[in-house]
Structure 1
Amino acid sequence: METTGYLASILIGISLGLIGGGGSILTVPVLVYLFAVDTVLATTYSLFVVGSTSLAGSFPYFKKGLIDVKTAVFFGIPSIIAVFLTRHYLLPHVPEHIMNVGSFALTKSILLMLFFAVLMVFASYSMIKKGSEDQPASQRPANAIGVIVQGTMVGIVTGLIGAGGGFLIIPALVNLLKLPMKTAIGTSLIIIAVNSLTGFWFSLGQTYIQWPFLLTVTLIAIVGIFIGSYLSTKIDGKKLKPAFGWFVLIMGVYILIKETLLK
């Protein structure tokens, strides 16, 4: 299973490099199901893996001038605040045992995985459909309140389950701030990197980190993002996005079934 886990770690980076998102949503399932990492600890590890991989992947976009720094700051500030509040005040106060429904015991770990699975289903929908992010941006004025709300939502998602939230960030940047698609991807990567690494920093001291394992997974994912970036020059990521969306949907449904019916 560990060998499969390391191979899957490459896919995390390849997805980020090829289609600009989706890879981070695989990180926690890979850590939990293939490496048998505790769910809460997996969300912390995921923050480091996703943040480091996205940071590495953002450099080519920065060199090409495809990162809107002002937008990253404007979108990122509410996200970072939400990450901090979630990691410090919301997540620690979720009880380990929440409730019983018949013979089914809803625990903190199961709740996080169920929340993660639901987000995977929503993320898969945004990948499968011919979304507005693939269309020219509208001409309406940018909605500052909408951007702040989206940034806050992304921060909560990042803080709770360690996912970067690219499937929320990219549509917001394109539709609300009217960024070109490639600039939106580059800006999204830097936002994901800052949010995730900040969330990881907030989590230090709260748990024991197995650095050799974490760095190994991270380095493999970084190799993957450079492979994905190279493939993006040869393959149209938009054509692969729906197929990856179906894969994420299947994974989300599997997690829902595994965490409820197979417990």
Structure 2
Amino acid sequence: MIWILGYLLAIAIGISLGLLGGGGSVLALPVLVYVMGVAPKPAIAMTLIIVGTVSLVGVIPHARRGNLALKQGAIFGSATMLGAYLGARIATLPLVTSALQMTLFALSMLLAAGLMIYRTSRAEPALSTTDELNSIQYIKPVCKYCWLWLMTEGLGVGILTGLVGVGGGFAIVPALVLLGNVPMKKAIGTSLLIIACNSLAGILGYLGHISLDWNLIVSFTFLAGCGTLIGSYLAQFVSAQQLQKGFGYFLLVVAAFVLAQNRHSFESPQESSAYLQPHNRVQRRQ
């Protein structure tokens, strides 16, 4: 029954991706860890594969419409791929515990949720999905050497991707718009391409350090892809702006749950050792 629930949630993640155009993949890690029972470190690597595959599929319609900014994507993507590889290598170090990774993941969820709620609150009411997309405004680039800032932020986003498995779309899209002067539609398509490349770099950093359940990866990715198609169809009947705001509040709840589950990471080693031991046993069995 638990696995059935996990697969249903995989479909739900895909639906959220189809409805919102991003963000839903951030739920893959909590589902794998707390529903499917996968240890955090392997789950993060599995999340990279799932997120990368779904993002790559999502690039196809954007490429057909010409919504890819390849120059800015190459500048930003090269930095994020390097960061993702470094983040994955850092994650394999003994001092980086699973609890620390899950805590950082929860904090990144809080940031993503806050940005999502803030942007939708600032957006003007619109009549169509296209208008809603265009209503999400950012200030125009003001820096003289924006490409340097673009690469610097790219490195940071990449490290976060490799370390905790998040795609980073909530930071990539604003960076492309603010620093790369990329229109919103092209920024979204380019973001998906960058996320797919980041995921590949992160996976390379984890290779040889963890074991992966490929049956679960394939089935989870397939169901999430099916959910994406469902969500894409439903998107024409619902308000994307209101959905994003509601999803942002939902992310706050999930982030609070993950922080509560890993509250021992803020305690002293003596207080948290009793909790860490069973987690280590689970990871050794896998």
Question: TM-score scaled by structure 2?
Answer: 0.81
| Partner of residue 116, structure 1 | 105
- Rate the CA distance shift 1:136–1:78 in 2: closer, same or farther, 3 A: closer
From 134, 137, 140, the counterpart of 1:138 = 140
CA distance, structure 2, for counterparts of residue 56 and residue 66 of structure 1: 14
Kindly state the Cα deviation for residue 95 of structure 1 after the two structures are TM-superposed.
Answer: 2.4
CA distance, structure 2, for counterparts of residue 136 and residue 210 of structure 1: 41
CA distance, structure 1, for counterparts of residue 151 and residue 157 of structure 2: 10
| Partner of residue 229, structure 1 | 232
AA aligned opposite 1:130: R
Contact 2:88 2:203 in 1 (8 A): no
CA distance, structure 2, for counterparts of residue 186 and residue 229 of structure 1: 15
Matched, 1:200 2:189: no
Contact 1:13 1:225 in 2 (8 A): yes
Aligned residue pairs: how many? Answer: 251
Question: TM-score scaled by structure 1?
Answer: 0.88
- Which deviates the most, 6-15 or 146-155? 6-15
AA aligned opposite 2:103: L
AA aligned opposite 1:93: L
Task: Show the 5 A alignment for 1:15-30.
Answer: 15-30=16-31
AA aligned opposite 1:134: I
Query: Gapped runs of 5+ residues in structure 1?
Result: 97-107
| Partner of residue 95, structure 1 | 95
- Rate the CA distance shift 1:233–1:182 in 2: closer, same or farther, 3 A: farther
Describe the SS at the equivalent of 1:232: helix
CA distance, structure 1, for counterparts of residue 158 and residue 231 of structure 2: 25
Deviations for 1:68-109, whole angstroms, at most 9, x for unmatched residues? 122211110011111112222x1122426xxxxxxxxxxx11
- Rate the CA distance shift 1:232–1:93 in 2: closer, same or farther, 3 A: same
| Partner of residue 126, structure 2 | none
- Rate the CA distance shift 1:227–1:178 in 2: closer, same or farther, 3 A: farther
Contact 1:128 1:245 in 2 (8 A): yes
Name the Cα RMSD after superposition.
2.1
From 235, 246, 249, the counterpart of 1:246 = 249
| Partner of residue 215, structure 1 | 218
Contact 1:5 1:35 in 2 (8 A): yes
CA distance, structure 2, for counterparts of residue 42 and residue 61 of structure 1: 29
Contact 1:138 1:178 in 2 (8 A): yes
Q: Which has the higher helix share?
A: 2
- Which deviates the most, 221-230 or 74-83? 221-230
Kindly state the Cα deviation for residue 20 of structure 1 after the two structures are TM-superposed.
Answer: 2.6
| Partner of residue 53, structure 2 | 52
| Partner of residue 127, structure 1 | 116
- Rate the CA distance shift 1:205–1:18 in 2: closer, same or farther, 3 A: same
Describe the SS at the equivalent of 1:14: helix
CA distance, structure 2, for counterparts of residue 183 and residue 233 of structure 1: 20
| Partner of residue 103, structure 1 | none
- Which deviates the most, 202-211 or 119-128? 202-211
CA distance, structure 2, for counterparts of residue 139 and residue 37 of structure 1: 42
- Rate the CA distance shift 1:179–1:24 in 2: closer, same or farther, 3 A: same
Matched, 1:2 2:3: yes
Deviations for 1:112-158, whole angstroms, at most 9, x for unmatched residues? 11111111111100111136781155253571122112211110111
CA distance, structure 1, for counterparts of residue 244 and residue 171 of structure 2: 15
Regions of 4+ moved over 4 Å = none
CA distance, structure 2, for counterparts of residue 2 and residue 175 of structure 1: 42
AA aligned opposite 2:101: L
- Which deviates the most, 21-30 or 36-45? 21-30
CA distance, structure 2, for counterparts of residue 228 and residue 72 of structure 1: 26
- Which deviates the most, 35-44 or 175-184? 175-184
AA aligned opposite 2:161: T
Contact 2:141 2:180 in 1 (8 A): no
- Rate the CA distance shift 1:197–1:16 in 2: closer, same or farther, 3 A: farther
